[in-house]
Amino acid sequence: MISAVPGSGDAAGGVSSICHLPYGDYNVTLHSDKYFSELWPFRQDLSACLPGATTEMKLATMITIAAAMAVAGNLNASDKEKGKEKTSAGRQVTVYRTAHSAVPYQIEGAAMDQASEMFAQIGVSLVWRFGSPSHAEAGPIAIEIVTGTPAKFMPGTLAYAFPYEGIHIRIFWDRIRDYATPREVLAHVIVHEITHILEGEPRHSDEGIMKAHWTPADLSALAKKPLEFAPEDVKLIFEGLDRRDLTGPVTGLPAATAAAIRTDAPGQ
Protein backbone atom coordinates (compact mmCIF):
# COMPACT_ATOMS: atom_id res chain seq x y z
CA MET A 1 0.00 0.00 0.00
CA ILE A 2 1.19 3.53 -0.68
CA SER A 3 0.00 7.11 -0.47
CA ALA A 4 1.19 10.61 -1.44
CA VAL A 5 0.56 14.37 -1.42
CA PRO A 6 -1.76 15.64 -4.16
CA GLY A 7 -0.07 18.19 -6.40
CA SER A 8 -1.39 20.79 -8.76
CA GLY A 9 -3.04 19.91 -12.05
CA ASP A 10 -5.52 17.25 -13.03
CA ALA A 11 -6.19 14.78 -15.79
CA ALA A 12 -8.98 14.75 -18.28
CA GLY A 13 -9.88 12.48 -21.14
CA GLY A 14 -12.15 9.70 -22.28
CA VAL A 15 -11.93 5.95 -22.12
CA SER A 16 -11.23 4.24 -25.42
CA SER A 17 -11.68 0.67 -26.56
CA ILE A 18 -8.48 -1.34 -26.77
CA CYS A 19 -7.51 -4.14 -29.10
CA HIS A 20 -4.37 -5.88 -30.29
CA LEU A 21 -3.13 -6.86 -33.74
CA PRO A 22 -0.24 -9.29 -34.33
CA TYR A 23 2.82 -8.82 -36.51
CA GLY A 24 5.33 -11.63 -36.26
CA ASP A 25 7.01 -11.32 -32.87
CA TYR A 26 5.32 -7.96 -32.30
CA ASN A 27 1.83 -6.62 -31.72
CA VAL A 28 0.24 -3.26 -32.29
CA THR A 29 -2.08 -2.10 -29.52
CA LEU A 30 -4.83 0.26 -30.67
CA HIS A 31 -6.69 2.73 -28.47
CA SER A 32 -9.32 3.49 -31.16
CA ASP A 33 -7.79 6.67 -32.57
CA LYS A 34 -4.26 5.96 -31.36
CA TYR A 35 -1.84 3.04 -31.20
CA PHE A 36 1.05 1.93 -29.08
CA SER A 37 3.58 -0.57 -30.45
CA GLU A 38 4.21 -3.06 -27.65
CA LEU A 39 4.49 -6.74 -26.81
CA TRP A 40 0.83 -7.03 -25.88
CA PRO A 41 -1.50 -10.05 -26.07
CA PHE A 42 -3.42 -10.62 -29.29
CA ARG A 43 -7.14 -11.05 -28.79
CA GLN A 44 -9.16 -9.35 -31.56
CA ASP A 45 -9.11 -8.46 -35.24
CA LEU A 46 -9.40 -5.04 -36.87
CA SER A 47 -13.18 -5.12 -37.31
CA ALA A 48 -13.55 -5.59 -33.56
CA CYS A 49 -11.13 -2.74 -32.92
CA LEU A 50 -13.19 -0.05 -34.58
CA PRO A 51 -16.87 -0.95 -34.40
CA GLY A 52 -18.95 1.59 -36.29
CA ALA A 53 -15.88 3.39 -37.61
CA THR A 54 -16.07 5.16 -40.96
CA THR A 55 -14.16 3.91 -43.97
CA GLU A 56 -11.80 6.86 -43.62
CA MET A 57 -11.10 6.03 -39.96
CA LYS A 58 -10.38 2.39 -40.81
CA LEU A 59 -8.12 3.41 -43.69
CA ALA A 60 -6.20 5.81 -41.44
CA THR A 61 -5.86 3.06 -38.86
CA MET A 62 -4.55 0.61 -41.46
CA ILE A 63 -1.95 3.16 -42.57
CA THR A 64 -0.92 3.66 -38.94
CA ILE A 65 -0.62 -0.08 -38.44
CA ALA A 66 1.44 -0.46 -41.59
CA ALA A 67 3.83 2.23 -40.37
CA ALA A 68 4.21 0.49 -37.02
CA MET A 69 4.83 -2.83 -38.74
CA ALA A 70 7.47 -1.26 -40.97
CA VAL A 71 9.30 0.06 -37.91
CA ALA A 72 9.15 -3.36 -36.24
CA GLY A 73 10.28 -5.04 -39.45
CA ASN A 74 13.40 -2.91 -39.58
CA LEU A 75 14.81 -4.61 -36.49
CA ASN A 76 17.59 -6.88 -37.63
CA ALA A 77 17.88 -10.55 -36.74
CA SER A 78 20.56 -10.01 -34.12
CA ASP A 79 18.37 -7.49 -32.27
CA LYS A 80 15.51 -10.00 -32.24
CA GLU A 81 17.77 -12.74 -30.92
CA LYS A 82 19.02 -10.46 -28.17
CA GLY A 83 15.42 -9.73 -27.21
CA LYS A 84 14.58 -13.42 -27.11
CA GLU A 85 17.62 -14.16 -24.98
CA LYS A 86 16.63 -11.42 -22.52
CA THR A 87 13.05 -12.75 -22.28
CA SER A 88 14.17 -16.35 -21.77
CA ALA A 89 16.65 -15.26 -19.10
CA GLY A 90 14.01 -13.30 -17.19
CA ARG A 91 10.60 -14.15 -15.78
CA GLN A 92 7.09 -13.46 -17.06
CA VAL A 93 4.08 -12.28 -15.03
CA THR A 94 0.54 -12.00 -16.40
CA VAL A 95 -1.39 -8.98 -15.13
CA TYR A 96 -5.10 -8.44 -15.78
CA ARG A 97 -6.77 -5.03 -15.80
CA THR A 98 -10.51 -4.68 -15.34
CA ALA A 99 -12.14 -3.83 -18.65
CA HIS A 100 -13.74 -0.59 -17.45
CA SER A 101 -11.65 2.21 -16.00
CA ALA A 102 -12.12 5.90 -15.27
CA VAL A 103 -8.45 6.57 -16.03
CA PRO A 104 -7.89 8.46 -19.30
CA TYR A 105 -6.44 5.93 -21.71
CA GLN A 106 -3.42 8.10 -22.53
CA ILE A 107 -2.42 8.12 -18.86
CA GLU A 108 -3.25 4.49 -18.14
CA GLY A 109 -1.48 3.17 -21.23
CA ALA A 110 1.64 5.22 -20.51
CA ALA A 111 1.60 4.16 -16.84
CA MET A 112 1.36 0.48 -17.80
CA ASP A 113 4.23 0.93 -20.26
CA GLN A 114 6.37 2.58 -17.57
CA ALA A 115 5.53 -0.16 -15.07
CA SER A 116 6.61 -2.75 -17.65
CA GLU A 117 9.88 -0.90 -18.22
CA MET A 118 10.59 -0.69 -14.49
CA PHE A 119 10.15 -4.44 -14.05
CA ALA A 120 12.14 -5.14 -17.22
CA GLN A 121 15.13 -3.49 -15.55
CA ILE A 122 15.31 -6.43 -13.13
CA GLY A 123 14.49 -9.12 -15.71
CA VAL A 124 10.73 -9.46 -15.13
CA SER A 125 8.37 -9.16 -18.10
CA LEU A 126 4.77 -8.03 -17.53
CA VAL A 127 2.17 -9.41 -19.94
CA TRP A 128 -0.95 -7.22 -19.83
CA ARG A 129 -4.44 -8.54 -20.46
CA PHE A 130 -7.87 -7.00 -20.05
CA GLY A 131 -10.76 -8.56 -18.17
CA SER A 132 -10.56 -11.11 -15.37
CA PRO A 133 -8.32 -14.17 -15.06
CA SER A 134 -9.92 -17.59 -15.27
CA HIS A 135 -9.85 -19.89 -12.27
CA ALA A 136 -7.81 -22.37 -14.28
CA GLU A 137 -5.04 -19.88 -15.08
CA ALA A 138 -1.87 -20.23 -13.02
CA GLY A 139 -0.29 -17.26 -11.29
CA PRO A 140 -2.14 -14.23 -12.72
CA ILE A 141 -2.44 -10.88 -10.96
CA ALA A 142 -5.66 -8.84 -11.16
CA ILE A 143 -5.72 -5.04 -10.84
CA GLU A 144 -8.88 -3.03 -10.26
CA ILE A 145 -8.71 0.78 -10.53
CA VAL A 146 -11.61 2.49 -8.78
CA THR A 147 -13.02 5.93 -8.01
CA GLY A 148 -15.51 7.20 -5.44
CA THR A 149 -13.36 6.08 -2.50
CA PRO A 150 -14.87 7.18 0.83
CA ALA A 151 -12.68 9.78 2.56
CA LYS A 152 -12.58 7.74 5.77
CA PHE A 153 -11.60 4.49 4.06
CA MET A 154 -7.87 3.93 4.51
CA PRO A 155 -7.15 7.70 4.46
CA GLY A 156 -3.94 8.72 2.71
CA THR A 157 -3.75 5.38 0.91
CA LEU A 158 -3.36 5.22 -2.86
CA ALA A 159 -3.69 1.46 -3.28
CA TYR A 160 -3.52 -1.88 -1.51
CA ALA A 161 -2.82 -5.50 -2.37
CA PHE A 162 -3.40 -8.88 -0.74
CA PRO A 163 0.05 -10.50 -0.76
CA TYR A 164 -1.00 -13.66 1.07
CA GLU A 165 -3.96 -14.21 -1.23
CA GLY A 166 -1.57 -13.49 -4.09
CA ILE A 167 -3.85 -12.13 -6.81
CA HIS A 168 -5.82 -8.95 -6.17
CA ILE A 169 -4.82 -5.28 -6.17
CA ARG A 170 -7.06 -2.23 -5.82
CA ILE A 171 -5.90 1.25 -6.84
CA PHE A 172 -7.72 4.46 -5.91
CA TRP A 173 -7.58 6.60 -9.05
CA ASP A 174 -9.51 9.43 -7.38
CA ARG A 175 -6.58 9.84 -4.98
CA ILE A 176 -3.99 9.85 -7.77
CA ARG A 177 -5.52 11.91 -10.60
CA ASP A 178 -4.91 15.34 -9.03
CA TYR A 179 -1.17 14.94 -8.78
CA ALA A 180 0.98 17.08 -11.04
CA THR A 181 2.31 13.86 -12.64
CA PRO A 182 -0.52 11.28 -12.33
CA ARG A 183 0.98 9.01 -15.00
CA GLU A 184 4.24 8.56 -13.10
CA VAL A 185 2.48 8.18 -9.75
CA LEU A 186 0.11 5.55 -11.18
CA ALA A 187 3.02 3.64 -12.73
CA HIS A 188 4.87 3.52 -9.42
CA VAL A 189 1.73 2.50 -7.51
CA ILE A 190 1.21 -0.38 -9.98
CA VAL A 191 4.81 -1.53 -9.56
CA HIS A 192 4.67 -1.19 -5.76
CA GLU A 193 1.54 -3.31 -5.42
CA ILE A 194 2.60 -5.97 -7.94
CA THR A 195 5.82 -6.29 -5.96
CA HIS A 196 3.80 -6.98 -2.78
CA ILE A 197 1.97 -9.76 -4.62
CA LEU A 198 5.17 -11.28 -6.01
CA GLU A 199 7.04 -11.10 -2.70
CA GLY A 200 4.06 -12.67 -0.95
CA GLU A 201 4.24 -10.55 2.19
CA PRO A 202 3.26 -7.03 3.34
CA ARG A 203 6.81 -5.81 3.99
CA HIS A 204 8.34 -2.50 2.92
CA SER A 205 11.86 -1.19 2.30
CA ASP A 206 13.58 1.89 3.67
CA GLU A 207 14.13 3.42 0.22
CA GLY A 208 13.00 3.16 -3.38
CA ILE A 209 9.83 1.78 -4.91
CA MET A 210 8.88 -0.24 -1.86
CA LYS A 211 8.92 2.53 0.74
CA ALA A 212 5.75 2.38 2.81
CA HIS A 213 5.32 6.14 2.88
CA TRP A 214 6.13 8.39 -0.08
CA THR A 215 7.16 11.92 0.90
CA PRO A 216 7.00 15.07 -1.27
CA ALA A 217 10.69 14.50 -2.05
CA ASP A 218 9.93 10.98 -3.30
CA LEU A 219 7.09 12.27 -5.46
CA SER A 220 9.30 14.95 -6.94
CA ALA A 221 12.04 12.38 -7.64
CA LEU A 222 9.77 9.81 -9.34
CA ALA A 223 8.38 12.51 -11.63
CA LYS A 224 11.88 12.96 -13.08
CA LYS A 225 13.25 9.42 -12.95
CA PRO A 226 11.70 6.09 -11.90
CA LEU A 227 12.46 4.97 -8.37
CA GLU A 228 14.56 1.82 -8.15
CA PHE A 229 14.09 -1.54 -6.49
CA ALA A 230 16.15 -2.10 -3.36
CA PRO A 231 18.46 -5.15 -3.70
CA GLU A 232 16.49 -7.05 -1.09
CA ASP A 233 13.28 -6.52 -3.07
CA VAL A 234 14.81 -7.94 -6.25
CA LYS A 235 15.87 -11.02 -4.29
CA LEU A 236 12.42 -11.42 -2.70
CA ILE A 237 10.63 -10.95 -6.03
CA PHE A 238 12.51 -13.82 -7.65
CA GLU A 239 12.11 -16.03 -4.57
CA GLY A 240 8.39 -15.28 -4.71
CA LEU A 241 8.24 -16.12 -8.41
CA ASP A 242 9.89 -19.44 -7.69
CA ARG A 243 7.26 -20.19 -5.05
CA ARG A 244 4.42 -19.20 -7.38
CA ASP A 245 5.81 -21.53 -10.06
CA LEU A 246 5.69 -24.41 -7.57
CA THR A 247 2.49 -23.72 -5.67
CA GLY A 248 0.69 -20.78 -7.27
CA PRO A 249 -0.95 -18.03 -5.19
CA VAL A 250 -2.04 -19.15 -1.72
CA THR A 251 -5.73 -18.59 -2.45
CA GLY A 252 -6.87 -20.86 0.38
CA LEU A 253 -5.74 -18.35 3.01
CA PRO A 254 -7.93 -15.45 4.15
CA ALA A 255 -7.05 -12.17 2.43
CA ALA A 256 -7.38 -10.13 5.60
CA THR A 257 -3.85 -8.75 5.57
CA ALA A 258 -3.48 -5.94 3.04
CA ALA A 259 -0.25 -4.25 2.02
CA ALA A 260 -0.76 -0.58 1.20
CA ILE A 261 1.18 2.48 0.13
CA ARG A 262 0.64 5.83 1.86
CA THR A 263 1.60 9.50 1.48
CA ASP A 264 1.63 12.74 3.41
CA ALA A 265 -1.78 13.80 2.14
CA PRO A 266 -3.00 16.95 3.92
CA GLY A 267 -5.24 16.22 6.86
CA GLN A 268 -4.39 12.52 6.96
Return the domain boundaries, the chain: 91-263
3-state SS string for 64-108:
HHHHHHHHHHCCCHHHHHHHHHHHHHCEEEEEEECCCCCCCHHHH
pLDDT of residue 250: 53
pTM: 0.66
pLDDT of residue 193: 97
Read off the pLDDT of residues 86-140 as tens digits, 9 standing for 90 and up.
Answer: 333 579 999 999 877 789 989 999 999 999 999 999 999 999 999 988 887 878 9
Show the low-confidence residues of the chain (pLDDT under 50).
Answer: 5-51, 55-88, 252-256, 265-268
259-268 burial: b if 16+ Cβ within 10 Å, else e: bbbbbeeeee
91-263: CATH topology: Collagenase (Catalytic Domain) (3.40.390)
pLDDT of residue 259: 60
